[in-house]
Amino acid sequence: MNIRVLRWVIVGLLAIGAVAFIAVGANSPKDPSLAPASGQASGNRTRFGDFAEIGFHIEGGTAAAATAARCALLAETAAQQGLGLMNRTDLGGYDGMLFKFTSDSNAQFYMLDTPLPLSIAFFDASGAYVSQADMPPCGHQSNCPTYAAARPYRWALEVPQGGLPRLAIGPGSRLVAAGACT
């Protein structure tokens, strides 16, 4: 008789556990994706520094149709632009770093303390492609080369070297930068 009681106790405990599991599971949010932790961005992206993020896509150019929505880190203050991707070996899951200038710029880019080889594309105020360059790492040297756009620009997008064609960036393309990352 003791074995029969023990069996009923075990079955009862399993039933109570199953009901509790279902009740707690029903308490979950409507969107079960995890909210980003501090320092984390949505998706599989990791923010660093005090950079915001911005959604963008590319129209025209080397693609038959507009590219899918992308996400970049946004460098819009002078301090952020000066730091850029220095000391980074990856982009933390972002498609690139987008530099936004409030007026037309002729500022040149350099690779001081940037170990990640990059390609850069420049775009004017309307988002039209201006030019591009590949930028190899320079290390910590006082004579790093600089990279300039062919004419004044308002936006610059840095991506891992060779990544511009993947984003359909080239002559005739147009950058549309706005909104949140998806």
Q: Which of 48-52, 58-62, 94-98, 134-138 has the lowest mean pLDDT?
A: 58-62
Residue 86 CA to residue 39 CA, distance in Å, equals: 18
pLDDT digits over 149-180, tens only? 999 999 999 999 999 999 999 999 999 998 88
Q: Which of 24-33, 44-53, 72-81, 99-108 has the lowest mean pLDDT?
A: 24-33
CB atoms near residue 9 (< 10 Å): 10
Average pLDDT over residues 112-138: 97
Each domain of the chain, given as residue ranges in start order, spans: 52-177
Percentage with pLDDT > 90 across the chain: 64
C-alpha pair distances (Å), 27 with each of 15, 35, 171: 19, 16, 52
| pLDDT computed for residue 3 by the predictor | 73
Residue 73 CA to residue 24 CA, distance in Å, equals: 37
Q: What is the CATH T-level fold of the domain 52-177, as seen in this structure?
A: Jelly Rolls (2.60.120)
| pLDDT computed for residue 13 by the predictor | 52
Residue type at position 64: A
Q: In what order do the strands lie in the sheet with 173-177?
A: 129-135, 118-123, 153-160, 96-105, 70-75, 52-60, 173-177
More confident residue, 22 or 83: 83
Average pLDDT over residues 48-60: 93
pLDDT digits over 74-105, tens only? 999 999 999 999 999 999 999 999 999 999 99
Summary mean pLDDT of the chain: 83
Q: For the chain, what's the residue count?
A: 182
| pLDDT computed for residue 142 by the predictor | 86
| pLDDT computed for residue 2 by the predictor | 76
Predicted TM-score (pTM) of the model is 0.75
Residue 146 CA to residue 129 CA, distance in Å, equals: 19
49: left (phi over 0), alpha (psi -120 to 50) or beta: left
pLDDT level of residue 40 (50, 70, 90 thresholds): very low
| pLDDT computed for residue 12 by the predictor | 55
Strand ranges (E), the chain: 52-60, 70-75, 96-105, 109-110, 118-123, 129-135, 146-147, 153-160, 173-177
